[in-house]
């Protein structure tokens, strides 16, 4: 059908090309018109006839051949469907009619049609490729002649005549000879190609025949194996049942009658077994008691090769000889009840099976043997029965000791395979043989007879659960394959096509040459584009280095200046200059991030971090700015958010920082900025089980009397639900370790104009032209945030209303982590012992704000109660017991202002509550966003509150405030905390290598500030001299770009020296005493450069450096780098 669809299009293109041939008629004399009209017509006519004939033969032949093979396959699949799913043929036909839209198509005809089409497509892919090549070449030929026509028609008449003079009046002899030679060569290649095509298609037919045989054989092997495994599982279950109800009950709940009736009634679950029996483990010392108890003597098998299903008369058998252990059958299925009292340990195969089964705890098989009843080959499956006290990870000795009996089942393999082949019988039958190949040199035939070799053999392995026994299924076709008519017809068709292609070969060569020229041009453009991209990356790296290098000196010197004794004005100037420098570094970093994103070179880390700690860092970063503007800044994390996730904390913090920074920038002296983190799946929970903050955000209610809203600050906000309404990935993933975090940043700022909302994520674009002048900024923060969210596999959206505010939401995909992997978690556990189970009362008129305060207190391990008015709090404190159980009371400033008169009642009850140790009284704190020092003194003078806690709240601020109120921590001492980095670097010998004297001075000053002993050198050669083994340095900070010898080469030589010394010490050529009593030398080398690109970082690690520290230095960055090599002294 596909060939017929292409022919009309080809004919259409041929007819259009006739015009170009007619255009060239005057070029070849007066007799050309008729010839030019006849040649294309004859060419396309014979081509059409040849192609149609070949296609007709191929399609007819393929359908005829497929009708023989696929009809059998379809019937076989239909039969399997009928038997496996227990449906009727009419039901299958009705289902096929429903799917196809016609009640007349049956399942068999539908499957035959699909199989025939699939076979035709797979068998004639090469032929169809030829048709496509013909069509493409013909199209090129048409385009070539059409272009010649357009050149002649569209040109100037004079120029046209001049152009016509250059055409030869007739075909030259050289051209004719070249075409004849090329035609001979092409025809020769066509003949060779036809033979190759015959071989290729014939090989494909044989491969498909082999695949068909392999599929049929594998299917039979798989079904046989599955049925055997199911039956084996039932036998194993029966062994457990015997262990439970015979050995686990006293007296036993099973006897021969119960066992026989149960096994007969459940025989349908074990259709492959011919008999099941249970033998008890009896020691020689217990034999006499056992025989007396059962009333019969333990009998010996007549021969060593007999099995439990053989015909035998126990009364005629001899008693079992004396041995250490016996396994007499005490229970047996009715079909093999005659083997009761026979010792299974007296048979050679059964004896080996019993020993292997009880040592391994798994089912084991015997080698094939003849069953006397059916004269078929069968096997015996044996399971050991253990007492109920056997541990799960028992050793073979423990299993042997815990063995109490053995459960055996016999399988009639030929009957099993016959039944399986009867279910899968079809017209295209195959011959199946089953072998036991445990002994590869002498396989045992378990099923089947020898048949004539039909040329194909497929072997499928069978796994019956016993690793020591190997079985295989051999399959062959009964009949030899027919002649490959498809290959014969296709090769003939290719030969005919070769003759047709000779007429258009010349045009094809010209077109191919043009395509190659275009390809070369494209390659050149590609190389230029790649070179431009490399130049751009190098430019960015150079600019980053050239700007960061002097900025490192500026910021470092300013920091060292601020550490000296300065007056207030000087300190303010230094801090302003330092902040401006950091802002410049931030702008540079944003521009570099944008360039990395555009180049596709920005990669995310995968480290463990605490999302709540990230929120605390954001609060600490913006707390001063929010207090200056009088804006309430708060964060909240749902209880369902894991304590530790695995992802990129730096980029996660960067997104939140960008959003919070924008919110604070565009929010004036009122309102709030609220950041909340939830699981993305929480938004789909019903309201009654939803997180409290999410629920309150949905049910925003307005207080009509006070004209306020139930939000963090009482000002109206946008509907946060609209910010993620268009998210498509909130459904989450099926992997339990993968989670999606939803972060919401809500503000009450000026909002975004409606006409500007469509371009806020565009790089270097802001809401309007006056925004950058009024508020500052580069306009790429949101663009970078969106790109980072995309890298995290999430989405970002927003909702904004001018005059009300904006709400941004984004999601990110993370993996759950373990809390023990973070130092922060250990720090939290350190504080948990002090605040665990303390009871706290929060008084706040706004529910969302109360939940935020409750969240921070619960992080300390406190038990929190919430009331929404001072009147309720007064009622709670009316009981002396309640007051004594409270550790502290937190009252929000709003509740304080609205119910000021109740404060005196609280003061009086507090004074009269407990007349004893004042430390037992609850500490009362006032929560406020912005208060002057005079206002704070005035509030404290009332005598009700112990201290004022300024927002925003975070983990460490609550701890510090409570300790100060108890007098356990001095405020002034707490302001200057002991640095974590100082604990790491104290008395450490550090080598600093930098060619810039200012940078050496800055690095030396920073490291000495934390107690390190620093030695500074100016070049890589000097560093090599200082680090000659042995040396006393603990770490080395190495600049990368230095004259004479850069940091990369210096590091490689240092590592080479260390490797040589380590190898000598390991081989005994040198002793550790010769090298400072150190048996393995490897000094930590940290790259110290202003180039912060990813490629530079990778090159540092590749040359042997341990980590990467960018300029200018940050304490946290130094700490994270040095913590890998040094342990803290604290």
- Measured distance CA(991)–CA(1012) in Å, rounded: 10
pLDDT tens-digit readout, 212-223 = 889 888 888 888
More confident residue, 270 or 45: 270
Neighbours of 660 (CB within 10 A): 25
Instruction: Judge whether residue 116 has pLDDT over 80.
Output: no
The length of the chain is 1130
Tokens of 130: 């030829």
Partners of 436 in beta bridges: 444, 471
- H helices of 386-439, where? 396-402, 413-423
- Measured distance CA(14)–CA(27) in Å, rounded: 21
Q: What is the pLDDT of residue 72?
A: 53
pTM of the model: 0.49
Q: Which of 364-368, 1001-1005, 1026-1030, 1107-1111 has the lowest mean pLDDT?
A: 1107-1111
Average pLDDT over residues 302-309: 50
Question: Long-range contact list for 17-22, CB < 8 A, 24+ apart?
Answer: 17/141, 17/142, 17/145, 17/146, 19/146, 19/149, 20/142, 20/145, 20/146, 20/148, 20/149, 21/145
207 three-class SS: helix
Average pLDDT over residues 610-636: 89
Nearest to 123, CA basis, from 4, 207, 7: 207
- Measured distance CA(662)–CA(749) in Å, rounded: 10
- Measured distance CA(9)–CA(203) in Å, rounded: 33
Q: What is the pLDDT of residue 1115?
A: 67
Q: Which of 150-164, 184-198, 342-356, 1088-1102 has the lowest mean pLDDT?
A: 150-164
pLDDT tens-digit readout, 684-699 = 888 778 888 888 877 7
- Report the half-sphere exposure of 495 (CA within 13 A, side-chain side): 13
Strands, E assignment, 572-709: 607-609, 632-637, 645-647, 672-679, 702-703, 708-709
Q: What is the pLDDT of residue 101?
A: 42
- Measured distance CA(992)–CA(1039) in Å, rounded: 8
- Measured distance CA(354)–CA(400) in Å, rounded: 10
- Measured distance CA(668)–CA(1046) in Å, rounded: 51
Instruction: Judge whether residue 784 has pLDDT over 60.
Output: yes
Partners of 1102 in beta bridges: none
Contact (Cβ atoms closer than 8 angstroms) between residue 365 and residue 464? yes
Strands, E assignment, 1043-1084: none
Tokens of 954: 């975070």
* Centroid of chain to Cα 959: 39
**Residue 504, φ and ψ in degrees, nearest 5:** -120, 15
DSSP 8-state secondary structure symbol assigned to residue 605? -
**Residue 27, φ and ψ in degrees, nearest 5:** -75, -15
- Measured distance CA(348)–CA(345) in Å, rounded: 7
Contact (Cβ atoms closer than 8 angstroms) between residue 6 and residue 135? yes
Instruction: Judge whether residue 90 has pLDDT over 60.
Output: no
Q: What is the CA radius of gyration of the chain?
A: 44
Contact (Cβ atoms closer than 8 angstroms) between residue 1126 and residue 1011? no
Nearest to 380, CA basis, from 232, 238, 259: 232
- Measured distance CA(513)–CA(506) in Å, rounded: 11
Mean of the per-residue pLDDT values of the chain: 75
Select, from the ranges 78-82, 941-945, 1079-1083, the one with the highest average predicted confidence (pLDDT): 1079-1083
- Residue 538 pLDDT level (bands cut at 50, 70, 90): confident
Mention every residue, 6+ apart, whose C-beta is less than 8 A from residue 837. Answer: 861, 862, 863
Nearest to 255, CA basis, from 335, 187, 337, 184: 337
Nearest to 23, CA basis, from 136, 144, 174, 133: 144
Sole residue written with tokens 């190098």: 538
- Measured distance CA(328)–CA(299) in Å, rounded: 8
Mention every residue, 6+ apart, whose C-beta is less than 8 A from residue 697. Answer: 720, 721, 848
Tokens of 252: 């036993």
Nearest to 462, CA basis, from 664, 221, 246: 221
Q: What is the pLDDT of residue 142?
A: 54
Q: What is the pLDDT of residue 109?
A: 43
Nearest to 141, CA basis, from 520, 500, 519: 500
pLDDT tens-digit readout, 122-172 = 445 555 555 555 555 555 455 545 554 444 444 444 444 444 444 344 444
The C-alpha angle 15, 18, 20, rounded to 5 degrees, equals 130
Tokens of 933: 């020092």
Instruction: Express as a percent the part of the chain with pLDDT over 90.
Output: 14
777 three-class SS: coil
Tokens of 93: 């036909």
Instruction: Judge whether residue 305 has pLDDT over 50.
Output: no
Tokens of 133: 């090549």
Contact (Cβ atoms closer than 8 angstroms) between residue 658 and residue 622? no
Instruction: Express as a percent the part of the chain with pLDDT over 70.
Output: 71
**Residue 89, φ and ψ in degrees, nearest 5:** -65, -35
Neighbours of 662 (CB within 10 A): 23
pLDDT tens-digit readout, 797-835 = 999 999 899 999 999 999 998 866 555 444 444 444 577
More confident residue, 857 or 542: 857
Q: What is the pLDDT of residue 103?
A: 41
Tokens of 260: 């026989």
Instruction: Judge whether residue 1130 has pLDDT over 60.
Output: no
- Residue 79 pLDDT level (bands cut at 50, 70, 90): low
* Centroid of chain to Cα 476: 43
What is the distance in angstroms between the CA of the first residue and the CA of the last residue of the chain?
82
Contact (Cβ atoms closer than 8 angstroms) between residue 590 and residue 780? yes
Contact (Cβ atoms closer than 8 angstroms) between residue 767 and residue 778? no
**Residue 1013, φ and ψ in degrees, nearest 5:** -100, 110
Sole residue written with tokens 């190495």: 1038
- Measured distance CA(1031)–CA(1024) in Å, rounded: 11
**Residue 861 Ramachandran class (φ > 0 left, ψ -120 to 50 alpha, else beta):** left
Tokens of 261: 């009736």
Residue-wise DSSP of 837-872? T-EEEEE-S-HHHHHHHHHHHHHTT-EEEEESSHHH
* Centroid of chain to Cα 139: 47
Contact (Cβ atoms closer than 8 angstroms) between residue 767 and residue 662? no
Contact (Cβ atoms closer than 8 angstroms) between residue 630 and residue 669? yes
């Amino acid at each position: 059908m596909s060939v017929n669809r292409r022919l009309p299009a080809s004919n259409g293109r041929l007819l259009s090309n006739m015009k170009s041939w007619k255009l060239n008629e005057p070029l070849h004399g007066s007799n050309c018109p008729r010839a030019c009209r006849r040649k294309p017509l004859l060419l396309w006519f014979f081509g059409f006839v040849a192609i149609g004939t070949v296609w007709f033969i191929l399609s007819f032949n393929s359908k005829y051949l497929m009708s023989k093979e696929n009809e059998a396959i379809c019937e076989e699949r239909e039969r399997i469907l009928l038997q496996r799913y227990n449906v009727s043929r009419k039901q299958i036909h009705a289902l096929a009619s429903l799917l196809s839209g016609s009640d007349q198509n049956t399942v068999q005809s539908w499957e035959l049609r699909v199989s025939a089409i699939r076979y035709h497509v797979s068998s004639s892919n090469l032929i169809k490729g030829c048709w496509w090549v013909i069509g493409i070449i013909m199209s090129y030929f048409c385009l070539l002649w059409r272009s010649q026509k357009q050149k002649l028609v569209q040109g100037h008449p004079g120029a046209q005549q001049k152009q016509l003079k250059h055409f030869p009046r007739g075909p030259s002899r050289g051209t004719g000879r070249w075409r004849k030679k090329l035609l001979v060569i092409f025809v020769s290649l066509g003949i060779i190609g036809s033979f190759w095509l015959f071989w290729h298609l014939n090989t494909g037919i044989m491969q498909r025949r082999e695949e068909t045989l392999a599929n049929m054989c594998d299917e039979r092997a798989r079904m046989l194996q599955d049925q055997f495994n199911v039956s084996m599982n039932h036998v194993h279950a029966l062994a457990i049942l015997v262990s439970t109800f015979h050995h686990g009950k006293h007296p036993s709940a099973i006897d021969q009658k119960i066992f026989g009736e149960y096994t007969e009634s459940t025989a349908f679950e074990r259709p492959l077994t011919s008999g099941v029996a249970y033998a008890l483990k009896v020691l020689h010392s217990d034999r006499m008691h056992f025989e007396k108890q059962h009333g019969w003597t333990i009998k010996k098998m007549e021969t060593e090769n007999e099995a439990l299903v053989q015909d035998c008369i126990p009364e005629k058998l001899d008693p079992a000889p004396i041995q250490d252990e016996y396994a007499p059958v005490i229970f047996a299925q009715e079909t093999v009840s005659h083997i009761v009292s026979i010792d299974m340990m007296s048979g050679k195969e059964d004896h080996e099976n019993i020993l292997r089964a009880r040592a391994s705890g798994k089912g084991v098989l015997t080698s094939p043997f003849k069953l006397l009843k059916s004269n078929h080959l069968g096997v015996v499956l044996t399971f050991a029965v253990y007492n109920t006290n056997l541990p799960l990870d028992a050793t073979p000795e423990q299993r042997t000791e815990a063995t109490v009996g053995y459960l055996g089942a016999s399988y009639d393999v030929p009957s099993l395979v016959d039944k399986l082949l009867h279910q899968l019988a079809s017209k295209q039958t195959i011959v199946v043989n089953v072998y036991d190949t445990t002994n590869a040199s002498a396989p045992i035939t378990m099923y089947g007879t020898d048949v004539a070799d039909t040329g194909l053999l497929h072997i499928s392995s069978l796994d019956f659960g016993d690793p020591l026994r190997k079985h295989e299924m051999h399959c062959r076709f009964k009949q030899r394959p027919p002649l490959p008519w498809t290959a014969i017809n296709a090769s003939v068709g290719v030969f005919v096509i070769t003759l047709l292609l000779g007429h258009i070969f010349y045009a094809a060569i010209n077109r191919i040459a043009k395509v190659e020229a275009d390809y070369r041009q494209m390659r050149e453009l590609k190389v230029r584009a790649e070179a431009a991209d490399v130049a751009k990356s190098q430019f960015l790296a150079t600019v980053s280095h050239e700007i960061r290098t002097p900025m490192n000196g500026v910021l470092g010197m300013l920091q060292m200046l601020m550490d000296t004794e300065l007056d207030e004005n000087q300190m303010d100037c230094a801090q302003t200059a330092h902040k401006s420098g950091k802002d410049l570094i931030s702008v540079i970093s944003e521009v570099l991030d944008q360039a990395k994103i555009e180049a596709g070179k920005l990669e995310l880390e995968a480290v463990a971090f605490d999302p709540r700690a990230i929120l605390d860092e954001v609060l600490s970063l913006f707390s001063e700015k929010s207090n200056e503007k009088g804006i309430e800044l708060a964060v909240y994390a749902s209880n369902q958010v894991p304590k530790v996730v695995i992802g990129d904390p730096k980029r996660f913090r960067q997104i939140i920082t960008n959003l919070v920074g924008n919110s604070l920038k565009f929010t004036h002296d009122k309102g709030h900025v609220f950041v909340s983190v939830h699981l993305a799946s929480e938004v789909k929970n019903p309201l009654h089980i939803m997180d409290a903050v999410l629920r309150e955000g949905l049910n925003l209610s307005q207080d009509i009397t006070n004209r306020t809203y139930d939000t963090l600050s009482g000002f109206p906000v946008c509907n946060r639900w609209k910010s993620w309404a268009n998210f498509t990935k909130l459904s989450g993933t099926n992997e339990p370790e993968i989670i999606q975090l939803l972060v919401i940043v809500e503000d009450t700022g000026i909002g975004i104009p409606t006409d500007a909302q469509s371009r806020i994520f565009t790089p270097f674009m802001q809401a309007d032209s006056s925004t950058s002048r009024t508020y500052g900024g580069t306009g790429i923060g949101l663009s970078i945030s969106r790109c980072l969210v995309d890298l995290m596999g999430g989405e970002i959206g927003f909702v904004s209303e001018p005059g009300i505010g904006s709400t941004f939401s984004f999601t990110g995909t993370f993996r759950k982590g373990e809390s023990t992997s973070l130092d922060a978690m250990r720090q939290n556990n350190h504080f948990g012992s002090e605040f665990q189970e303390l009871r706290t009362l929060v008084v706040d008129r706004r529910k969302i704000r109360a939940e935020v305060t409750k969240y921070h207190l619960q992080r300390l391990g406190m038990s929190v109660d919430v009331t929404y008015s001072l009147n309720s709090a007064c009622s709670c404190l009316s009981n002396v017991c309640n007051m004594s159980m409270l550790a502290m009371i937190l009252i929000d400033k709003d509740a304080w202002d609205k119910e000021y008169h109740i404060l005196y009642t609280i003061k009086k009850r507090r004074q009269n509550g407990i007349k004893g140790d004042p430390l037992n009284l609850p500490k009362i704190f006032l929560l406020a966003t912005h208060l002057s020092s005079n206002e704070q003194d005035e509030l404290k003078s009332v005598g009700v509150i112990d201290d004022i806690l300024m927002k925003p709240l975070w983990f460490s601020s609550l701890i510090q405030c409570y300790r100060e109120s108890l007098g356990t921590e001095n405020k002034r001492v707490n302001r200057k905390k002991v640095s974590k980095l100082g604990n790491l670097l104290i008395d450490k010998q550090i080598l600093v290598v930098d060619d810039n004297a200012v940078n050496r001075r800055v690095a030396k000053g920073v490291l000495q500030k934390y107690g390190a002993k620093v030695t500074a050198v100016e070049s890589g050669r000097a560093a090599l001299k200082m680090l000659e083994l042995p040396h006393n340095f603990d770490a080395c900070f190495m600049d990368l770009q230095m004259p004479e010898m850069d940091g990369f080469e210096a590091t490689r030589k240092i590592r080479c020296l260390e490797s040589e010394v380590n190898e000598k010490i390991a081989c005994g050529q040198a002793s550790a005493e010769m090298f400072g009593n150190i048996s393995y030398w490897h000094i930590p080398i940290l790259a110290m450069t202003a180039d912060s690109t990813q490629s530079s970082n990778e090159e540092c690690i590749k040359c042997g450096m341990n980590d990467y520290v960018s300029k200018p230095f940050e304490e946290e960055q130094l700490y994270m780098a040095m913590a890998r090599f040094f342990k803290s002294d604290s």
